[in-house]
Structure 1
Amino acid sequence: MASHGDDSLLLTLKRVAAVLKQTEIPFALAGSFAVYAHGGHSSDHDVDFLIKEEDAERALAALVEAGFTAERPPEDWLVKVYDEDGHLVDLIHRPIESPVTDETFGDTVTRTVDAIQMPVLSATGLMVHKLLSFSQHYCDFARGLPLARSLREQIDWDRVRKETAQSPYAEAFLVLLDRLDVVPYPGYRRDS
């Protein structure tokens, strides 16, 4: 497994996962640590879990009881917890404007993350989420390139193209991957 670099944040991830498992709250690891769990390169410094909206309050209560501090930010698509060292964990119930459902949890694989088995969003799901996060307000392709490069063999690129077809930002990123010889983009013709 690739190195993530922040062992104290990895410990926070394990503590949150253990509480969610003990409380029997369905979840999936997402974001940079999910890329790490798949063996890819990750440079972010936060932890993201996907949970259902109806489980958010129960998750917060269990984590507060375990010593975390809860925060309900103005954004209505997530809640947050902090450990005693100030490490942030996002509990996201509506990524990319779609609610977390049983289908979301069906798009996971079980991975061992620093000796704890947990469901991790698939590499394909991670790529779809990353591409659909790009917009006119946020379009940092440098954040998607390490994911695409390090997990390209695990990603179903046909599914990615299909599920991101409505996004011109995703299309531009996929053309960039073709131009960089990372992943071919069928139908795109380069002028030689």
Structure 2
Amino acid sequence: MAYHLKEAGIPFALAGSFAVYARGGEAVDHDIDFLIKEEDAERVLTTLVEAGFRGEVPPEGWLVKVWEEDRLIDLIFKPVQRPVTDETLADTEILSVNAVHMPVLSPTELMIHKVLTWSPHYCDFGRGLPMARSLREQIDWARVHRETAHSPFAYAFLVLLDRMGVIDLTDLSEGPIGGRKRAQLKEVVG
């Protein structure tokens, strides 16, 4: 699939759990996620259908899907309510993934996406902990904090990571977790 997008000159990036795996994280066993820009979605779908994939435009309005035999590939243009931009696609590194060189989303952006998926209807920190642990040295935690500061679930997750010794919140001196708020939080939770 990456080959076809490269040949067509369509920018993309590997994302989701396969990108985590490509960067040294835990093994994966479900669908494959790629990021594309929304203005490229129709062209991506046409290119891949012409190459033999089965395509679908689902009602969600933030992705298109293709199947290669029984493997589902999500082509996402608006993950976690944030549009994929040229800057998003530049926040990558070319890595070899199963002997295919392709752009893989940065660990920081992967963590931001993971944290922003949590809501009152779905909040499974158990899915984020292995990722945070395995990629922790590669992640810009201050950026994760800044870009997810509006989310109470991100706040709780960062506190959990601090308490588990995965990250040190004192390194995040700005925003709601740093400084005085952090001291107050330490008093409450011990």
TM value normalised by structure 2: 0.89
1:175 counterpart residue number: 159
How many pairs were matched up? 176
Please tell me whether residue 65 in structure 1 is matched to residue 50 in structure 2.
yes
Name 2:96's counterpart in structure 1: 112
C-alpha distance in 2 between matches for 1:185 and 1:175: 7
Distance 2:126 2:97 in 1: 25
Shift of 1:99: 1.0
Q: 2:85 aligns with which of 81, 98, 101?
A: 101
* Structure 2 unmatched runs, 5+: 171-177
Name the residue aligned to 2:124: 140
AA of the residue aligned to 1:28? A
Q: Deviations over 1:108-156 (max 9, x none)?
A: 1111111111111100000011111111111111111111000000000
Identical counterparts, % of pairs: 64
Moved over 6 A (4+): none
Distance 1:17 1:89 in 2: 11
1:157 aligned partner: 141
One-letter amino acid matched to 2:26: H
Further displaced range: 124-133 or 38-47: 38-47
**Partner residue of 2:26?**
41
Q: CA deviation at 1:39?
A: 1.1
Are residues 1:17 and 2:2 paired? yes
Which has more radius of gyration?
2
The answer to whether the 8 A contact 2:21-2:28 is kept is no
Partner of 2:14: 29
Q: Give the secondary-structure state (helix, strand or coil) at the position aligned to 1:79.
A: strand
Q: Which residue in 2 is equivalent to 1:91? A: 75
* Deviation for aligned residue 1:180: 1.1
CA contact (8 A) 1:42 1:147 kept: no
| Gapped regions of structure 1 (runs ≥ 5) | 1-15
Give the superposed CA RMSD.
Answer: 1.2
